[in-house]
Amino acid sequence: MAKHFLSLADQSTQELRALLDLARMIKLNPSGYAQACKGQTLAMIFQKPSLRTRVSFQTGIYQLGGQGLYLGPTDIQLHRGETIADTAQVLSRFVDGIMARVFAHADVEGLAEHGSVPVINGLSDLLHPCQVLADLQTIEEKKGRLAGLKMAYVGDGNNMAHSLLYGGARMGMTVSISHPRGYAPDAEVTARATAIAAGTGGAVQVTEDPREGVADADVVYTDVWASMGQEDEHKERLARFEGFQVSADLMGCARPDAIFLHCLPAHRGEEVAAEVIDGPQSVVFDEAENRLHAQKAIMVRLMGR
């Protein structure tokens, strides 16, 4: 079993299956895991602010019998006088696990390399594995399976697209990424996901045509067009992403019983039409809730007594 949770590509299909099963059991019987991390402390490093990540991790570790320690940008000295290696080694003397929401993916890798406690990637500019574990849990709840389904992501080839590629490929799904020209997912990520899918019966498709990407999809997914740290590109991206809004018309290219997912926060009228995200096919709030259960499963697996 992997000691850390940095990337879904590092988890085997069996490990992901076990995490999804554990997340389902925790959701069904939360009281049965109320002491699973008794006395454990999770250091929560936030270079980027967040509603869902902070509340779900802090609530989750508390519900498991432990406590979360919030460390915001002014509480730590990462890249401002202290190295990643020093931070990792110091925190490892105090806490039982580290969750980090950072800019550079190398930072979470450095924490894992130099620390002696489990490290969870709460988000990096490259990957968002916790969100996708919750997404897979949500899809399985709604569809009864993962293998053989088509999941279509529309928008920027960002950290969400990357983790959806890895997670979907690991679980035998067809993952389609539709992106505007110049905003393709990372080539190395796409290649690795394609190789993973070849061993699981899944497939990877990357296209600049959103209608082609969404055709016959069981799941349609999108994310904001300008992520945190890209605010100065917002106006340009609005123009470049024209035609990539998940509208009712685009949803019509998917299967009639397709579900709509979004990691939130959402900008209605930009990447998604209000009638879609607020409509009957949307399961975004069930998806948001599952961040709590999926992350509790990760903490039980890595930190549980």
Q: What is the pLDDT of residues 96-125, one digit of tens each?
A: 999 999 999 999 999 999 999 999 999 999
Q: What's the mean pLDDT when you consider all of the chain?
A: 96
- Is 162 tagged catalytic? no
In this predicted structure, what is the pLDDT of residue 79? Answer: 65
Q: Sign of torsion, CA 107 45 171 158?
A: negative
Q: Which residues pair with 222 in a beta bridge?
A: 154, 262
- Is 291 tagged catalytic? yes
Count CA atoms within 13 Å of residue 235 on its CB side: 1
Catalytic residue among 37, 162, 237, 263: 263
Greater pLDDT, 260 or 49? 260
Q: What is the pLDDT of residues 138-174, one digit of tens each?
A: 999 999 999 999 999 999 999 999 999 999 999 999 9
Catalytic residue among 11, 223, 245, 301: 223
Q: Are 22 and 5 in contact (CB under 8 A)?
A: no
- Is 237 tagged catalytic? no
Q: Are 139 and 151 in contact (CB under 8 A)?
A: yes
Residue range(s) occupied by CATH 3.40.50.1370 in the chain: 8-128+291-303, 131-287
- Is 211 tagged catalytic? no
Question: What's the pLDDT band for 229 if we cut at 50, 70, 90?
Answer: low
Q: pTM value?
A: 0.97
Return d(Cα 36, Cα 22) in angstroms, integer: 12
Catalytic residue among 128, 170, 293, 301: 128
Q: Which residues pair with 195 in a beta bridge?
A: none
Q: Are 167 and 133 in contact (CB under 8 A)?
A: yes
In this predicted structure, what is the pLDDT of residue 224? Answer: 96
Catalytic residue among 291, 293, 295, 301: 291
Class of domain 8-128+291-303: alpha beta
Question: What's the pLDDT band for 73 if we cut at 50, 70, 90?
Answer: confident
What's the length of the chain?
Answer: 305
Catalytic residue among 101, 162, 170, 293: 101
Catalytic residue among 11, 40, 47, 131: 131
Query: For the chain, what is the total number of helices (H) and then of strands (E)?
Result: 12, 9
- For 240, 243, 245, 268, the CA distances from 236, given in Å and listed in that order, are 6, 14, 15, 18
- Is 101 tagged catalytic? yes
- Is 131 tagged catalytic? yes
The answer for residues whose C-beta is within 8 angstroms of residue 93's C-beta and 6 or more apart is none
Please state which CATH number belongs to domain 131-287: 3.40.50.1370
Q: What is the pLDDT of residues 232-242, one digit of tens each?
A: 788 889 999 99
